[in-house]
Amino acid sequence: MIVRMPPAGDPPAKRRKLTNTDLVESCSAKPALTSSPGKRGKLTQAELLKRERRLAKLELDYQDRSEELERRYTSLNERETQANSALDSIAERDALTTLSQLEELFSCPICQQILTVPYSLNPSLCGHTFCGICILRWFFTRLHEACGGWHESVDCPICRQLLVITPDRTPRLEFTFPFVPNRSVANACETLIERLAQLVPSASAARVKREISEAPLKSRSSKDCDEKDGVAESTEDNMAIGTINTLEGWREGGPLRTEWLKKDSEGKKEMSDLISKWTTLKSADFVRIKRQLCT
C-alpha cells in the first residue's frame, strides 16, 4: 500500500477542506471578495443599487439609440419614396411629351392616326408622307375599274401635285411605282412608340399618387366653387381623362399599341407584296387589288 504524502513545500492552509464560506466567496462578485466579512451585506446592497442604476442608464441609452435608428430608417424610407415619386413625375412628363411629339409630327394626314409603314410621294414630286396603306387606297380609288387602268391623273392629297402616270404595258420600270418608303420617319415612329411603352408604367404610378394626394383637396374645393367653375373643372377633367386613356393605350399590351403594331406589320406585307410584283402586274391584278383595299 502506498501512502500519498503532500508535496513538501505546500503551505498547510491550501490543503484544508473547502467550507461553505469559501464557496460563497468564490461565487460572488469581486468587490465583495475584497471587503471585510463584517461589512459585506450592506456594501453588496449599495453595489446592487449602483449596478441597477448603471443598467437602467444603459437601457435608456439603448432605447435612445434604437429610437434614433428607427427615425433614420423612417426618414430614409421617406426620402426613397420622394425620390421614386420624383422619377415617376419625370417619366410622366416625358411620356406626355413623347405622345404629343408622335401626334403632332407623325400623324397621317389621311387617317389622322400615328403613321404606320410611312411612304412618301416621290421626292422629285412633293415628298409628302402618309401611311403606306392610306396612300395606296387613295391611289387605287382613282383606278378605272372597268379597264384596270389610270386614265385620270392621281394627285397628292395635301398639295395636289400630280403623280407620274402608271404605264399600262408590262414589264413596267420599277421607278414608276409612285411611292418610296420613308425610313427615317418609320424609325422615329418606332423609337417614340417603344419609348412610350417604357414610360407609361411610371407615368401611371405618378398619376395615381397625385390623385390620392389631391383627392381631399378636390372634394373640398368643389363644394366651395359655384356652378360656372364646376363646369370648367369637369371639362378640364374630361380632357385629362382623354390624355390618360391615350397614354394607357400605348403601354405594353395596350389597345393603341397593339392596333398600331398590327397595322404596321400588315402594311409592311401589303407594300412589299405590291412592290415585288409591280413591274409585271396586269390590269386584272390592279382591279383585284383595288377591291381588296377599297372595301
For Zn ion, the binding residues (CB under 5 A) are 108, 110-111, 126, 128, 131, 134, 144, 147, 156, 158-159, 161
Rounded Cα distance between 31 and 28, Å, is 9
Of 4 and 183, CB closest to Zn ion: 183
Q: How far is the CB of 253 from Zn ion (least distance, A)?
A: 23
Q: How far is the CB of 84 from Zn ion (least distance, A)?
A: 39
Burial of residue 266 (number of CB atoms within 10 Å: 0-12, 13-18, 19+): middle
Of 206 and 287, CB closest to Zn ion: 287
Of 125 and 244, CB closest to Zn ion: 125
Of 29 and 147, CB closest to Zn ion: 147
Of 85 and 122, CB closest to Zn ion: 122
Vertex 289 angle, CA 283 and 294, to 5°: 125
Rounded Cα distance between 285 and 72, Å, is 76
Cβ of 254: how many Cβ atoms within 10 Å? Answer: 18
Q: How far is the CB of 226 from Zn ion (least distance, A)?
A: 45
Of 179 and 250, CB closest to Zn ion: 179
Rounded Cα distance between 159 and 121, Å, is 11
- The C-alpha cell at 233 is 373643372
Three-class SS state of 28:
coil
Residue type for position 41:
G
Is the CB of residue 130 less than 8 Å from the CB of residue 267? no
* SS3 per-residue string spanning 105-163: HCECCCCCCECCCEEEECCCCCCCEEEHHHHHHHHHHCCECCCCECCCCCECCCCCCEC
User: Which residues sit opposite 156 in a β-bridge?
Assistant: none
Question: Which region holds residue 112: left if phi is over 0, alpha if psi is between -120 and 50, else beta?
Answer: left
Q: How far is the CB of 156 from Zn ion (least distance, A)?
A: 3
Q: How far is the CB of 293 from Zn ion (least distance, A)?
A: 13
Of 164 and 244, CB closest to Zn ion: 164
Q: How far is the CB of 149 from Zn ion (least distance, A)?
A: 5
Q: How far is the CB of 229 from Zn ion (least distance, A)?
A: 40
